[in-house]
Copies of this chain bind each other. A is one copy, B any other.
Amino acid sequence: MRALPSRLSRIPAVGSDEPMPADGNEYNFCDTCTFSRTCLQSGYDKGRLRDLHVLIDHVGPFREGEHLFREGDPFTAIAAVRAGVVKTYVNDADGREQVQGFFLPGEIVGLSAISHDRYPCNAVALDTVQLCRFSFPDIAALATRIPSLQQQLFRLLSQDIGKATLLAGNYSADERMAAFLVSLSRRYAARGGNPDRFHLVMTRTDIANYLRLASETVSRVFRRFQDEGLIQVDRRDLRLLNLSRLETLARSVLRE
């Protein structure tokens, strides 16, 4: 678990549900907030930056197992993960859990809810989670005045269509697992982490439910990958020993 940036130290203490008060004098954009980063890159004037910033509620921490929202809750906001990992899932007809995605710091949760007025899935914290929460109606309204913000929203939504398409293919257990590991590796690396050594915050069952495999299969593939020298697993700690071979395996899933 990486340490939080110092500017986040003013976040309300554990258990508090209150949004962070907007600070008119000192800007406290968080590094992980995709919107903020995008807008900063685009070189916006202070006024509009302030417009964006006042929409952001810094909420958290949520502790392991706490729900950010549940299926059927009225949809009001999307959220950028600032710290921790979020899992979204639904329960199918037989009560089985179908994991829809894992969201690492910097990634946006709740986009699939936009077309409804209620969340279509549950979101739960897998460890200690901090969020930037945006009122969606407000940010959409602001987007009408900031074209690049609108564009960013379109891009985020469109990207998620592509992601959702990935695991829809009928790939083998090996291909799925390799793609999962490569994807995690790249996403951690994109946030400054180590691309070939990280900690799995999710259980084997979570991974299985995400990849549409049985948890036993996940165990067996981990085992075999280790025997073949591709990875080294010690409980949740993972080392990717042969990233290029994993990428080859994942190639067809990730479409490269």
Contact = CB atoms under 8 A, between A and B. Distances in A.
Interface string A113-146: 1111000100000000000000000001101110
Interface in A82-121: 90, 92-94, 98, 100, 111-116, 120
Which among A111, A114, A145, A212 has the greatest number of chain B C-beta atoms within 10 A? A114
A255 B144 CA distance: 33
A169 B212 contact: yes
Contacts of A212: 168-170
A213 to B, nearest CB: 8
A16 interface: no
Interface string A146-183: 01001101111111111011011110000000000000
A252 interface: yes
A162 B115 contact: yes
A156 B111 CA distance: 12
A153 B115 CA distance: 10
A251 interface: yes
A94 B143 contact: no
Interface of A: 90, 92-94, 98, 100, 111-116, 120, 140-141, 143-145, 147, 150-151, 153-162, 164-165, 167-170, 212-213, 251-252, 255
Given A115-B162, A154-B157, A169-B212, 9 more contacts: A114-B157, A115-B155, A115-B156, A144-B144, A157-B161, A160-B161, A161-B161, A161-B164, A170-B212
